[in-house]
Amino acid sequence: MDRKAISDLRQRIFWLREDREKLENSLFRPKKMIRASLVFLANYCGKKDCRCKKGFPHGPYPYLSEKRKGKTRMTYVKKRTLDEVKREAEEYARFQHRLARLRKLNEKIRSLFEQIRDLNCRKVEEYRKVLTERKKNIPRQENEKGN
């Protein structure tokens, strides 16, 4: 068993746990959020002879874009609510980003524990080898006793 390797792994886990704790603390009290992202889209009205037909679209206008059952739904955002909605969508994006980082940290920590496990683990093959060695030795020992 490689003591140095295990001690390095342990140290790396300690550091990652500190990172994880900070990250988790930042997730405890999020500000108000909205489950969508804010996007700005140009509009084409479809009126004959409109400027949008000539490559000058209307807008761009703000929309909330959300995923629902695999489909994207757009909701127009009224101008007087734009600041509020923007803040909430940004907070949501930040929260989601941190959750993704938490997932990565957990995976990393888990993989380091797996390495510790593997360094401490013997395979059944090795156990079987020991058994076969013993079987070979036992009759000889009994013979020796008999003599």
Verify binding: residue 42, Zn ion, rule CB under 5 A. Answer: no
Q: How far is the CB of 50 from Zn ion (least distance, A)?
A: 3
CB of 63 to Zn ion, least distance (A): 17
Four-point Cα dihedral 71, 52, 59, 90, nearest 10: 30
| Spatial separation of the C-alpha atoms in residues 141 and 43, rounded to whole Å | 92
> Which of 57/116 has CB closer to Zn ion?
57
Q: How far apart are CA 19 and CA 92, in angstroms?
A: 21
Under the binding rule (CB under 5 A), the answer on residue 45 touching Zn ion is yes
Number of neighbours of residue 39 by Cβ within 10 angstroms: 15
**Judged by CB, which is closer to Zn ion: 42, or 130?**
42
**Cβ distance to Zn ion smaller for residue 50 or 119:** 50
Q: Say if CB 23 and CB 109 are below 8 A apart.
A: no
Query: Of residues 27, 50, 74, 119, which one binds Zn ion by CB under 5 A?
Result: 50
Select 51 or 134, whichever has its Cβ closest to Zn ion: 51
Taking residue 74's Cβ as centre, other Cβ atoms within 10 Å add up to: 13
121 sits near Zn ion (criterion: CB under 5 A): no
Instruction: Say how far apart CA 65 and CA 82 lie, in whole Å.
Output: 14
Answer for which of 23, 39, 52, 105 binds Zn ion (CB under 5 A) is: 52
Q: Minimal distance in Å, beta carbon 48 to Zn ion?
A: 9
CA distance 115 to 16: 15
Binding site for Zn ion (CB under 5 A): 45, 50, 52
